[in-house]
Amino acid sequence: MQGKISINIKLVKVAFLLGCVFCLSTFITGPIALVFGFLFSHFFGHPYHQLNNKAMNWLLKIAVVGLGFSMNFQEALDASIEGFSLTALFILGTLILGYIAGKWFRIERKIAYLISSGTAVCGGSAIAAIAPVINASEKSISVSLGVVFLLNSVALLCFPPIGHYFDLTEYQFGLWSAIAIHDTSSVVGAAMTYGEEAVKVATTVKLARALWIIPISLVSIFLFKGKNNSIKILWFIFMFIGVILLNSYFSFPNLLVYSITEISKSLLVLTLFLVGSDLSVEKIKSAGWKPMILGASLWIIISVISLLIIL
């Protein structure tokens, strides 16, 4: 493939695994891991491409559940309630704007709906959950994922500097990230570079936002008259809540809590390395300029308005 450096595949596999080990250390942050993963796959290819999505999926779930050990239930509840009204407002607004803009750009209806849903709720997870409900084609799914995937990566890199520029508190940044960034991995990854409180707020509000997949899937069945009535439930969110409850009402050794939290953060950095390794120039090009403009427009509008409200 163009852009790839010719090298022995065994060496590439070893180098990739060493890169994974490096990401588990404390010497690399989430944004750097994302760029590192992209550059590695761009120049050397991805030796474990078929396993990548499954690995990302499981690592993210384990990391998020593990982060629950550093949180208190009352604090998490307060953050979720605080962000509920903003979340509901922006989800509804995004879906309406996406419908109007999709019509205006003359984008295929299901592609526009998947991009809007991914932007409104939780990126790739929302697209994966809603696609079978509306009987979306493989092309519609890949285009939508490509758009959301790219914008997700951009958000992870640019949100922390913007937060520091506007002198956002950790609470404000966590809330803003949870509302305006697509996927959970990038939300928590951005918050990790900002501080502990930002991580707690971002994680709880984001996972509360992810639960909107259920009502949106039900509405999607009605809108598209889908025959597939199965709805994907994100069970790891309830596990995350369960861990917070355990941590709030039972006393665990400080060393254990600290160790689990640090391991979870390292797993999240590794997840972002895998996210970056799955991003390619080919995927970006295949998405097309109209869906990309739609996704970018929705994301920028949400980011700007939510930042102004939080400020």
Q: Is residue 281 in some structural domain?
A: yes
Q: Is residue 2 in some structural domain?
A: no
pLDDT in tens, 181-213: 888 888 888 898 898 889 888 888 887 787 787
Q: Is residue 4 in some structural domain?
A: no
Q: Is residue 115 in some structural domain?
A: yes
Q: For residues 19 and 273, is the Cβ–Cβ distance under 8 A?
A: yes
The amino acid that residue 8 corresponds to is: N
Q: Is residue 1 in some structural domain?
A: no
Tokens 């849903």, located at residue? 117
Q: Is residue 3 in some structural domain?
A: no
The amino acid that residue 92 corresponds to is: L
Q: Is the pLDDT of residue 4 over 70?
A: no
pLDDT in tens, 50-105: 888 888 878 878 887 887 777 777 766 666 666 677 778 888 888 899 989 888 98
- Mean pLDDT of all residues in the chain? 82
Q: Is residue 218 in some structural domain?
A: yes
Q: For the chain, how many structural domains are there in total? A: 1
pLDDT in tens, 145-188: 888 888 888 888 899 999 999 999 999 999 999 888 888 888 88
Give the percent of the chain with pLDDT over 70.
89
User: Does 305 or 67 have the greater pLDDT score?
Assistant: 305
pLDDT in the model for residue 76: 65
User: Other CB atoms closer than 10 Å to residue 305's CB: what's the count?
Assistant: 16
Q: Is residue 238 in some structural domain?
A: yes
Give me the domain span that covers residue 153.
9-310
N- to C-terminal Cα distance for the chain? 46
Where residue 233 falls among pLDDT bands split at 50, 70, 90?
low
Q: Is the pLDDT of residue 230 over 60?
A: no
Mean pLDDT of 27-43: 83
